[in-house]
């Protein structure tokens, strides 16, 4: 079985959307990535930190999805990272109401010994020095290192971010972040500039408008599946990353052609994530539902045309 290391937050979220609001619920990048990747036959390890206030039932949930939790440090006297946000009516924009770093402020990632030789490393959205710290612990160079980041790190830790970007094979960012990182409005030009920073593959996420995959002169576009309603977009990007990384770890094929399929899997899983608050939908997801939606994606994107 392929091994996958996932680094990111395991956290509490409190979310408000036009459809309702929650108290503190399970959240965090590593949580969404792990639950998404668990739909593939991979042996994954989550590397994160939580406080003594983090419920055992949430840790058990991850364990029951074949996610090794040895790398989740528990600081008993500390509090778990907490984020609260409110989405606007268009569901594309949101206001952050609270961000409490708590135990995350002094997080020093420790990769479990039996995962230090993993073929695939998924570096979820965290400080670039933490992401680099994980890569430094690997006993052999991963066959595929994937990095997710955000504009916050571009604002406060750009040099550290550029340093870790040099050491990864794939970067996943949204369109706004791609433009900020490169200073280019055209996403094609932006992707070319990101290639020059180090990554062989660039994935630019466009939310409800799908995702773009770039490799040298090759470009692939995957639309987002049109949904009747989007209930909560929180974690959709991380769920995409988890599906993308999980599929690649399972297949062990890191070619451009196979990455195209990985993008479709990522988009498919993200389309489920937004249907309920937090991780609720990902916890109940079945293989049958995934394959049915993959078939919908196929119908959405396939057509016959006669070229004269």
> What's the full length of the chain, in residues?
308
Choose among 12, 15, 72, 74: nearest CA to 45.
Answer: 72
Distance, C-alpha 4 to centroid of its chain:
13
Upper half-sphere CA count for residue 169 (Cβ side, 13 Å): 17
Task: Quickly count helices (H) and strands (E) in the chain.
Answer: 11, 15
CA distances from 233 to 59, 173, 175, 278 (A): 23, 16, 16, 8
Query: Which residue in the list 238, 253, 295, 304 is annotated as catalytic?
Result: 238
d(Cα 24, Cα 219) in Å, to the nearest integer?
A: 40
Burial 293-303 (b: 16+ CB within 10 A, else e): bbeebeeeeee
d(Cα 252, Cα 110) in Å, to the nearest integer?
A: 25
- Quick check: 63 and 69 in contact, CB under 8 A? yes
Longest Cα–Cα distance of the chain, Å, equals: 71
What's the helix, strand, coil split of the chain in %, to 5?
Answer: 40, 25, 35
Burial 206-219 (b: 16+ CB within 10 A, else e): bbbebbbbbbeeee
List alpha helices for 17-127, DSSP H: 29-37, 56-64
Any idea what DSSP says for residue 299? H
How is residue 174 written in tokens?
């949204």
Residue 238 appears among annotated catalytic residues? yes
Active-site positions read 238
């Amino acid at each position: 079985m392929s091994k996958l290391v996932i680094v990111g937050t395991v956290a509490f979220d409190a979310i408000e959307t036009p459809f309702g609001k929650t108290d503190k619920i399970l959240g965090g990048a590593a949580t969404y990535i792990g639950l998404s990747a668990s739909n593939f036959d991979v042996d994954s390890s989550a590397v994160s930190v939580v406080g003594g206030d983090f419920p055992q039932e949430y840790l058990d949930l991850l364990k029951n999805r074949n996610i090794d939790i040895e790398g989740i440090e528990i600081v008993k006297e500390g509090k778990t990272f907490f984020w609260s946000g409110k989405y606007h009516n268009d569901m594309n924009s949101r206001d952050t109401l609270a961000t409490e770093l708590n135990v995350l402020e002094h997080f020093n990632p420790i990769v479990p010994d039996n995962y230090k030789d993993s073929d695939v490393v998924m570096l979820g959205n965290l400080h670039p020095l933490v992401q680099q710290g994980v890569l430094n612990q690997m006993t052999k160079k991963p066959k595929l290192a994937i990095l997710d980041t955000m504009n916050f790190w571009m604002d406060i830790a750009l040099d550290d971010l550029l340093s870790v970007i040099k050491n990864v094979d794939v970067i996943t960012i949204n369109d706004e972040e791609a433009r900020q990182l490169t200073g280019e409005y055209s996403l094609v030009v932006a992707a070319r500039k990101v290639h020059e920073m180090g990554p062989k593959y660039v994935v630019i996420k466009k939310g409800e408008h799908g995702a773009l995959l770039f490799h040298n002169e090759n470009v692939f576009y995957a639309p987002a599946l049109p949904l009747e309603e989007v209930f909560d977009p929180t974690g959709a990007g991380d769920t995409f990353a988890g599906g993308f990384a999980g599929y690649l770890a399972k297949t062990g094929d890191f070619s451009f052609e196979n990455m195209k399929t990985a993008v479709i899997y990522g988009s498919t899983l993200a389309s489920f994530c937004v249907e309920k608050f937090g991780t609720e939908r990902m916890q109940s997801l079945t293989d049958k539902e995934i394959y049915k939606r993959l078939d919908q994606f196929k119908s959405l994107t396939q057509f016959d045309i006669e070229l004269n």
